[in-house]
Amino acid sequence: MGEAIERFFASLPARAPAVLRGPTRGRLQLDLTTGNRTEHWFLEIAPGTIQVSREQLPADAVFTISAELFEELVTGREAAMAAVLRNEATFSGNVVLFLMFRRFFPDPPGVRDPRESAREHVRRSA
């Protein structure tokens, strides 16, 4: 497994208070595949907190993706929703957990919040 993936999972608990603000809670299982091998990660998600474990636990949702593509997600070179829509990753179970979890992925390089772009346009027009 790549170093970027290890760093991503290690960073989740510290980033959770800023990312997980809603009332959603549950367990998300991530299955990262490489050939015939699958690595399992379990995330216990609650408002403002996330616990990362390799221990197999019952899950409310499962996100399955290749380790290679997951590394693209954690480095911002790909988008999680686009990968699911292209059928390069699958998701089953409580979709809200996936929607909350994808907030941890960085934006692709060069992507800006459209609200900030609009504010800049207004300032230039004034």
The distance from CA 32 to its chain's CA centroid, rounded to whole angstroms, is 13
| pTM tops 0.75 | yes
d(CA 111, CA 114): 9
Q: Which pLDDT does position 1 carry in this prediction?
A: 65
pLDDT at 33 over 90: yes
Q: For residue range 92-118, list pLDDT tens digits in order.
A: 999 999 999 999 999 877 777 778 888
Q: Which domains does the chain have, with CATH numbers?
A: 3-125 (3.30.1050.10)
Placement of tokens 């992925």 in the chain? 105
Cα–Cα distance, 39 to 60 (Å, whole number)? 18
Question: Cα–Cα distance between 72 and 123 in angstroms, integer?
Answer: 35
